[in-house]
């Protein structure tokens, strides 16, 4: 029912960091963070506080930063 997945990667291998929100997440102050690595691996952290998502964006995604709202 619940699972924990851990991705360990070097910061210089991160190629793309994206923070996305949908209307319900914006209303609740939440966001999702997606990270793409040079190896092709991807990780998504869903339903985190918007401030935590922006912190991850600025700490991990030093280059190729994209902030994209999701409209539905």
With beta carbons less than 8 A apart as the criterion, state whether 17 and 60 touch: yes
With beta carbons less than 8 A apart as the criterion, state whether 17 and 64 touch: yes
What are the two backbone dihedrals, phi and then psi, of residue 3, each rounded to the nearest 5 degrees?
Answer: -140, 150
Predicted local distance difference test score (pLDDT) of residue 33? 92
SS (H, E, C) 4-47: CCCCCCCHHHEEEEEEEECHHHHHHCEEEEEEEECCCCEEEEEE
Low-confidence residues in the chain, pLDDT < 50: 64-65
Say what the pTM is: 0.71
What are the two backbone dihedrals, phi and then psi, of residue 36, each rounded to the nearest 5 degrees?
Answer: -115, 130
The pLDDT tens digits of the residues spanning 18-37 come to 899 999 999 999 999 999 98
């Amino acid at each position: 029912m619940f699972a924990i997945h851990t991705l360990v990667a070097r910061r210089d291998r991160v190629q793309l960091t994206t923070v996305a929100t949908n209307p319900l997440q914006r209303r609740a102050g939440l966001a999702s963070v997606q990270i793409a690595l040079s190896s092709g691996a991807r990780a998504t952290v869903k339903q985190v506080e918007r401030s935590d998502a922006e912190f991850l964006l600025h700490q991990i995604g030093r280059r190729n930063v994209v902030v994209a709202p999701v409209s539905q």
